[in-house]
Structure 1
Amino acid sequence: MNLKELATRLGLSPTTVSRALNGYPEVNEATRERIVAAAKKHNYHPNTRAIRLATGRAMAVGHVIAIANRHELVNPIFADFVAGAGETYSRNDYDMLLSVVPDEDEAQTYRNLKVKGNVDGVIVHGPRENDFRIPLLREIGLPFVVHGRATGATEPYSWLDVNNRRAILRATEHLLGLGHTRIALVNGLEFMDFANRRRTGYLDALSTHGIPPDPSLMFSGEMTEIAGFRAASTMLALPKPPTAFVAASMLSGMGVRRAVESAGLRTGHDVSIIIFDDDLSYMKNGEETPIFTAMRSSVREAGGLVAKMLLDRIANPDSGPTHQLLEAELIMGQSTGPAPKG
């Protein structure tokens, strides 16, 4: 079916149908919804090249990954995020442009994307404290949304984040409530904003219960199985080892569990583990009964929401910054139990 045939079925002009499908604001919402529903019903897809010519848009969204963060490309969390975002792009006839670049070329890559008109906007991954990308993207006028928040940023920007501080605070308090006082944190890289907030939540929970932090029970590094294993193995060999761990991801938690079992201990009995981000498409946390107790927040859902926020900004460039703060849910699994006596 072409545009003219769809317009005839709806009793509208081809111009009205085209403008509704391309997001022009002068079409009222009721008419737009009727047109979008009819387009889906009859499997009509606008000609992307025609849209580009008519609107001046690239009909593509950019994701720039610096080589220093290349681990993101093989991380199931990143894959789930991109899958969620991709579903939103597909529904709106947008493509995704992924650029993997040397660290020193990252800023110039954003400038090139703007100058060449390759994308209509970008999603910023892995925000850091005082992240240079926020003022840069505002300066060059490229629409963007940040997945996370950047502590220290002085200019307004749109973001979507999980309440990382509260999630880890709740996880640590759950372990404290089970009688654990030697609680270890196996965190992500703490120059990343999310990991910094998670450490704050952990420390706040300890402080509330009058427990001084022990640097030997705090690790910051890549969220991989091997990093979790090595960190937990070192901590379990201490004269006063931890009886519980808060791990930054499922991969980290799997490494911690391997270290616990290698030490001849039982997870959930001798040592408790709580993980973050267990709701992954291709790495499930058990079936009916979760293997790990976890702070759950759907990364795939976050990807879809961030993509929608960005497409809304592209369609309405004069709108102000928007924010979404998601809360993680505590999921009870088999990896936690009361602190061992003695």
Structure 2
Amino acid sequence: MNLKELSARLGLSQTTVSRALNGYPEVSKTTRERVAQAADRYGYRPNPRAKGLAVGRAFAIGQVIRSDGPTEMVNPIFGDFIAGAGAVYSKAGFELILSVISDGNEAAAYRGLKTRGAVDGVVVNSPLVSDPRFPLLQDIGLPFVVHGQTLGPVPDYDWVDIDNYAAFKTATRHLTDLGHRRIGLINGFESMTFAHLRRAGYEDSLRAVGVAADPAIMVSGEMTEDQGYHAAHDMLAMAKAPTAFVVSSIISAYGVRRAIETLGLVMGRDVSVVIHDDMLSYLKNGTSDRPIFTATRSSVRDAGRDVAEMLIRRIRNPSLPPQHLLLPVDLVQGRSSGPPPDVLGPMA
């Protein structure tokens, strides 16, 4: 059965039936329930394209992804985010459209999506401290939700984020409470807001115990296993080596562990490590009762669901006030952190 046939049986217009099935508030609750019951009875499953024609929507969500240089598509964090968001899109009758660009011209990609009417809104990932995408999207009138935030001067917008500052303040304080004072930072690109805030939390936690952050043991860059290995190996070879690290990704943390073991040291005894762990489906932090790493923990899959739900609310009700969701982060004790060794010296 198609929309036209279902509408005829109900004696309602196709627009009313489509809006009822999609929960639009201007359709009465009685009508929505009547339409839903009829759809179940006749086995009607809406076609996204047909729905779009009926109500003037694409019933699609867009994400613009770069393929040149470091890309989110090969990152397991992005995969879990899409899995969480995709479940919400599917339930709400929306499709996901990935627009992959290779020339870095994201502005043209967003303008194209808007001009073609290809999507009803977009999700923006990996926001920069000062991000030109947000004012662009506001200017062209394309609804969007950000996974993260910007710190630049942008009119208010919808976002979902974790408390990155508090996460790394807590992670560093855990180490200082254990007695560590020489703590290395292995971070993401600090042009991105999350890494900028994590560094601030780390520095403020050190400052609280009278320790100045040392640039010699602070590294930022693409969060890969290789980054973690080389950064930790170089720092541990210093005459005044760190006794601990805070690390922005479980991916980098596996490289840190490799460096520690390569140098004949034991993680958690000779060198402590606290990481940020996104509870990834295919890259586990041990088991729930015995984590490998002490970690500030959050679920990126849950964040994907939250972002998707927020964007669909925005699409259905454009007059909503700006929506914000700051997710707390818990510290989970693992096997990777303990008091510093009694004697510090060269570890090469």
TM-score, with structure 1 as normaliser: 0.93
Matches within 5 A, 1:129-144: 129-144=129-144
- Paired residue for 2:49? 49
TM-superposed deviation, 1:105: 1.7
TM-superposed deviation, 1:135: 0.7
Structure 1: tracts of 5 or more residues without a match: none
Contact 1:129 1:153 in 2 (8 A): no
User: In terms of mean alpha carbon deviation, does 12-21 or 67-76 score higher?
Assistant: 12-21
TM-superposed deviation, 1:12: 8.8
* CA–CA distance in structure 2, aligned partners of residues 189 and 150 of structure 1: 14
Contact 1:172 1:246 in 2 (8 A): yes
Tell me: CA distance 1:228–1:301, structure 2 relative to 1, closer, same or farther (3 Å): same
- Paired residue for 1:290? 291
TM-superposed deviation, 1:128: 0.6
Name the aligned partner's letter for residue 298 of structure 2: S
> In the alignment, does 2:74 pair up with 1:74?
yes
Contact 1:279 1:285 in 2 (8 A): yes
Name the aligned partner's letter for residue 286 of structure 2: G
Q: Secondary structure at the match of 1:180?
A: coil
* CA–CA distance in structure 2, aligned partners of residues 50 and 139 of structure 1: 29
Contact 2:148 2:162 in 1 (8 A): yes
* CA–CA distance in structure 2, aligned partners of residues 5 and 336 of structure 1: 64
Contact 2:57 2:120 in 1 (8 A): yes
TM-superposed deviation, 1:319: 1.7
Q: Secondary structure at the match of 2:254?
A: helix
Matches within 5 A, 1:99-248: 99-248=99-248
Tell me: CA distance 1:43–1:309, structure 2 relative to 1, closer, same or farther (3 Å): farther
TM-superposed deviation, 1:29: 4.9
* CA–CA distance in structure 2, aligned partners of residues 41 and 283 of structure 1: 43
- Paired residue for 1:306? 307
Contact 1:277 1:299 in 2 (8 A): no
TM-superposed deviation, 1:25: 1.9
TM-superposed deviation, 1:202: 0.2
> In the alignment, does 2:340 pair up with 1:339?
yes
TM-score, with structure 2 as normaliser: 0.91
* CA–CA distance in structure 1, aligned partners of residues 246 and 30 of structure 2: 49
Tell me: CA distance 1:38–1:79, structure 2 relative to 1, closer, same or farther (3 Å): farther
Tell me: CA distance 1:32–1:275, structure 2 relative to 1, closer, same or farther (3 Å): farther
Q: Secondary structure at the match of 1:283?
A: coil
TM-superposed deviation, 1:248: 0.4
TM-superposed deviation, 1:6: 7.5
Matched positions, count: 341
Structure 2: tracts of 5 or more residues without a match: 344-348
Contact 2:65 2:71 in 1 (8 A): no
Name the aligned partner's letter for residue 340 of structure 2: A
* CA–CA distance in structure 2, aligned partners of residues 293 and 111 of structure 1: 43
User: In terms of mean alpha carbon deviation, does 99-108 or 144-153 score higher?
Assistant: 99-108
Residues 146-182 of structure 1: per-residue CA shift (max 9 Å, x gap): 1100111331111111100000000000011111111
Name the aligned partner's letter for residue 240 of structure 2: K
Percentage of pairs with the same residue = 55
TM-superposed deviation, 1:101: 1.1
TM-superposed deviation, 1:272: 0.7
TM-superposed deviation, 1:145: 0.6
Contact 2:18 2:55 in 1 (8 A): no
Tell me: CA distance 1:323–1:230, structure 2 relative to 1, closer, same or farther (3 Å): same
Q: Secondary structure at the match of 2:109?
A: helix
Contact 1:3 1:14 in 2 (8 A): no
Tell me: CA distance 1:194–1:40, structure 2 relative to 1, closer, same or farther (3 Å): farther
